[in-house]
Structure 1
Amino acid sequence: MSAGAPRGAGGGSTGRGAGGLRASLAGLTTRGRSFLAAGVAAALCAYVLGQGELLRVGLLLAVLPLICVLALHRTRHRVSGSRRLTPMRVPAGSEARVQLRMENVSRLPTGLLMLQDRVPYVLGPRPGFVLDRVEPGGRREVSYRVRSDLRGRYPLGPLQLRLTDPFGLVELTRSFSTYDTLTVIPRTEALAPVRLTGETSGYGDGSRRSLALAGDDDVIPRGYRRGDDLRRVHWRSTARYGELMVRREEQPQRSKATVLLDTRGVAYEGAGPDSAFEWAVSGAASSLVHLLEQGFSVRLLTDSGTSVPGDGSGFTSGGQESAEAAGLMMDTLAVVGHSDGAGLTRAYDAVRSGGGHGAGGFGGAGGDGLLIAFFGDLDDVQTEVAAKMRGRCAAAVAFVLDSGQWTGGPSRVEERLGRLRETGWTALAAPPGVAFGELWRQAGNAPLGTGASGGWG
């Protein structure tokens, strides 16, 4: 057999030849080796004792496994296989379906085939299927489901095919060459459409002009300027004013929002699906999805200063590019782990720079964006750095996960929250067991002004 693969939804084909006769001999099962050993032993005893009948029995036992090896080695079956994974991106705790299809592309029927797909142990037991005789040109389809409570990227494959003889003396295993990847993203919660302190709506700014609802009046005409596209000429206004007028169509601007995730290893204690860090990752994912649905231009930022999407501005733009950027951010959260950093300085610099654009950024002129941050443990120094991030943001909301609350140790979270509120943050503690949707609603109910309200209770 040899491996070769048509691409697509995870495919491949196997044929004859890889490994040679030596590889086929290595495929002898325990039963086959026992037959061979018993035959050799019987032949030796027959030679010593001079028993011709016993010699014939020994030769039969020894030759039968070798005949099966030769038969499988000369098998000319060509089998193609494909894998289809739906969906390829699932939230933690949800199932994905894997469909396998085998097709006999040779002119001879196959024997008994055993099909097995390689699956990481976190996705469940390794699936195996037994396929009976497949006629020439025939196909068989089987499926199984995978599920993981841990986010990450998991390879599926390569697909393995096992051929056996009718006596079970020889078993040959060949692998296809392709595999697929299942991306398990963090769990997300549906969030209520609340208005955070100082927040603007997703589209537009307070100073933009109002546009008419529909029809030809959904334009603001102005005088023709050299270089204007003639297709934008507004003939009704031209006839009314006696000069050439063109449409000046104003497009609503997308308000910007940054979701900051503190990934410092020193800021969290514990591990597993119910740890504080996993809660923060899930909260960041829920915020990103909600803000994109509300029409914001969003970016994901970590304490290392890394911004996703990673283009010049760091923010999603809209349309198909926005959908691709959203997928990129969720893929990033699927594999994000603890960083080695000890401080938030790089994140502060990235927030202050606003992704390279002063207008609409943070810290630049007209810094009117929204900042949502998920912090781990904060000492005095990092609390001051976080407080400075508030800057000129239209709104800043912080969810602080204190290890003392999550592990039962001493907690200083209220002191940290008080300092953040003094600088204009809407700061809330995130204790274990609380749903992020509830904290989100509480952040929306915080009074206007300093955002001094917060906490749980």
Structure 2
Amino acid sequence: MLGAPGPSPAEEPPGGGAASALSGLTTRGRSFLAAGFAAAVCSYVLGQADLLRVGLLLAVLPLVCVAVLRRTRYRVAGSRRLAPARVPAASETRVHLRVDNVSRMPTGLLMLQDRVPYVLGPRPRFVLDRVEPGGRREVSYRVRSDLRGRYPLGPLQLRLTDPFGMCELTRAFSSHDTLTVVPRVEPLPPVRLSGEATGYGEGRQRSPAHAGDDDVIPRGYRHGDDLRRIHWRSTARYGELMVRREEQPQKALCTVLLDTRRSAYRGAGPDSAFEWAVSAAASVSAHMLERGFQVRLLTDTGSSVPGPDGGGGLSGGGFDGAASLDTAGLLLDTLAVVDHSAEPGLSRAYDVLRGGQEGLLVGVFGELDAEQTGVVARMRHRSGAAVAFVLDPAAWSREGPADAGESEGGLRLLRENGWTVVPVAAGASLPELWRAAGDHRAAAGAPRGGAAAGHDHERA
């Protein structure tokens, strides 16, 4: 009998019984059975009693092996462990399999096989020798995928054989494990973008933290409050001791907008424009979390992660390291399975941004026609700063660049509406583009500062 840790016992294949047992005969078992019947027929024709005994021995031996193997009550437990269970695309992970014999009798020869999707490679197979009572065997194999996604591993299958190799029976565990292949995350250089957190420009996108903060108005005195926090004016007004609130910590907000429209991209595969866009969204999200931002991932469908307001009770690493890891894991798991959408435009994402709070907006867009360029231009009005990475799907799919005049006109419209626009060529490096975005913001801010200083000098 086969079993697995927890409520996942081994299952027999459908159609159990004598028919399934005989179907497990090996080539050797079938040969012995056929030779036994042939010898019995020959003994009847020739009248040789000794030949009949030989035929019965040959025919009965595989049947006895089948009966003994089916009645053997093996108790075998199997387990699987992934190291790690979440891996970036084009990276390897190791799968550890463990088989424990928890019965009081040794097992025979065991053949172990694990089911894996074809994307991860061929099915691994192992042959295990006799496992003593209370013993265990451990084997491992490696899997690798260039495509992100969630891939089921299992169930684990064991094939039992008798000592003579006459019969094989297959049993399967019911438990599964899931390997999550997330997009590749590239480290980005620190740059000064307008609208970043304290020390990095404007702070219009910062909002008060709600969890664990003092009340907005002076509140009643509580046992243990510092007497230096007593607000005497409010105490005189309300007739009881009132304490003033401390300065509320600020959270920097950042929205990463990922364009997933099917009509905005061409081609498929790990080197396609859409996969670059997904990897860019993952890299920017992870980078902003490391810098203490509260990050929200938004797609053209209007769905946002981790929550409708981008908060979901989780903040960036500058405030809570554990929450930052949770947010990063949630964003990567979401991007691991994100796919093309059937949305015709970006209006749903615009509606979400129009009703939300101001903050830093980083958009990764595919092909933008004149109408969608206008929608993206209006998104800038609700953000403190906006950076757009615009891909040319035609160049990525090697079909030649799109209409240069129309494309440049759309980019110019975005710049006129306050976007920092970074065109993305085929195979471009995201860290270099991120640094270029910071340089563009600095170059755009310098003339305005110089002009303002000149006007002040004239007024003086």
Q: So what's the TM-score if we normalise by structure 1?
A: 0.84
Q: Distance in 2 between matches of 1:225 and 1:386?
A: 42
- Provide the residue aligned with 2:400 in structure 1: 409
**Partner amino acid, structure 2, of 1:308:** V
- Provide the residue aligned with 2:373 in structure 1: 383
Q: Distance in 1 between matches of 2:273 and 2:13?
A: 54
Stretch of structure 1 that moved more, 244-253 or 66-75: 244-253
Is 1:370 the counterpart of 2:360? The answer is yes
Secondary structure of the equivalent of 2:74? coil
Counterpart pick for 1:275 among 269, 272, 277: 272
- Provide the residue aligned with 1:84 in structure 2: 81
- Shift, 1:268, TM fit: 0.5
Counterpart pick for 1:73 among 66, 70, 95: 70
- CA contact under 8 A between 2:39 and 2:52: conserved in structure 1? yes
- Provide the residue aligned with 1:234 in structure 2: 227
Secondary structure of the equivalent of 2:355? helix
Residues 397-421 of structure 1 deviation map (CA, whole Å, 9 limit, x = unaligned): 1111111211232413333212211
Is 1:140 the counterpart of 2:142? The answer is no
Secondary structure of the equivalent of 1:408? coil
Q: Distance in 2 between matches of 1:273 and 1:300?
A: 21
**Relative to structure 1, is the Cα distance of residues 184 and 451 closer, same or farther in structure 2, using a 3 angstrom cutoff?**
farther
- CA contact under 8 A between 1:202 and 1:295: conserved in structure 2? no
- Shift, 1:197, TM fit: 3.6
Counterpart pick for 1:440 among 434, 450, 454: 434
**Partner amino acid, structure 2, of 1:185:** V
- Provide the residue aligned with 2:355 in structure 1: 353
Q: Distance in 2 between matches of 1:205 and 1:447?
A: 12
**Partner amino acid, structure 2, of 1:424:** G
* Alignment of structure 1 residues 12-411 onto 2, 5 Å: 12-14=8-10, 19-201=16-198, 206=203, 227-234=220-227, 246=243, 248-311=245-308, 313-314=310-311, 317-318=314-315, 319=320, 320-354=322-356, 361=357, 367=358, 369-406=359-396, 407-411=398-402
Residues 48-81 of structure 1 deviation map (CA, whole Å, 9 limit, x = unaligned): 2323333233222211110110110111110111
Q: Which has the higher helix share?
A: 2
**Partner amino acid, structure 2, of 1:323:** L
- CA contact under 8 A between 1:398 and 1:425: conserved in structure 2? yes
Q: Which runs of 5+ in 1 are unaligned?
A: 209-220, 355-360, 362-366
Q: Distance in 1 between matches of 2:445 and 2:201?
A: 24
Is 1:429 the counterpart of 2:423? The answer is yes
- Shift, 1:138, TM fit: 1.2
**Partner amino acid, structure 2, of 1:281:** V
- CA contact under 8 A between 1:232 and 1:247: conserved in structure 2? no
**Relative to structure 1, is the Cα distance of residues 4 and 86 closer, same or farther in structure 2, using a 3 angstrom cutoff?**
closer
**Partner amino acid, structure 1, of 2:384:** A
**Partner amino acid, structure 2, of 1:296:** F
- Provide the residue aligned with 1:214 in structure 2: none
Stretch of structure 1 that moved more, 67-76 or 50-59: 50-59
**Partner amino acid, structure 1, of 2:68:** A
Stretch of structure 1 that moved more, 177-186 or 17-26: 17-26
Stretch of structure 1 that moved more, 122-131 or 246-255: 246-255
Residues 290-316 of structure 1 deviation map (CA, whole Å, 9 limit, x = unaligned): 000001011111110011113555556
**Relative to structure 1, is the Cα distance of residues 376 and 452 closer, same or farther in structure 2, using a 3 angstrom cutoff?**
farther
- Shift, 1:87, TM fit: 1.3
Q: Distance in 2 between matches of 1:16 and 1:164?
A: 15
Q: Distance in 2 between matches of 1:274 and 1:310?
A: 30
Q: Distance in 1 between matches of 2:260 and 2:99?
A: 44
Stretch of structure 1 that moved more, 43-52 or 258-267: 43-52
**Partner amino acid, structure 1, of 2:342:** D
**Partner amino acid, structure 2, of 1:233:** D
Q: Distance in 2 between matches of 1:342 and 1:425?
A: 22
Residues 225-249 of structure 1 deviation map (CA, whole Å, 9 limit, x = unaligned): 66232322235989xxx99784643
- Provide the residue aligned with 1:215 in structure 2: none
- Shift, 1:20, TM fit: 3.7
Residues 15-39 of structure 1 deviation map (CA, whole Å, 9 limit, x = unaligned): 9999344322221122222222232
Q: How many residues align?
A: 423
- CA contact under 8 A between 1:203 and 1:296: conserved in structure 2? no
Q: Which runs of 5+ in 2 are unaligned?
A: 206-213, 448-460
Secondary structure of the equivalent of 1:391? helix
Secondary structure of the equivalent of 1:231? coil
**Relative to structure 1, is the Cα distance of residues 199 and 205 closer, same or farther in structure 2, using a 3 angstrom cutoff?**
closer
**Relative to structure 1, is the Cα distance of residues 23 and 152 closer, same or farther in structure 2, using a 3 angstrom cutoff?**
same
Identical aligned residues as a percent: 64
- CA contact under 8 A between 2:193 and 2:441: conserved in structure 1? no
Q: Distance in 2 between matches of 1:138 and 1:408?
A: 61
**Relative to structure 1, is the Cα distance of residues 289 and 167 closer, same or farther in structure 2, using a 3 angstrom cutoff?**
same
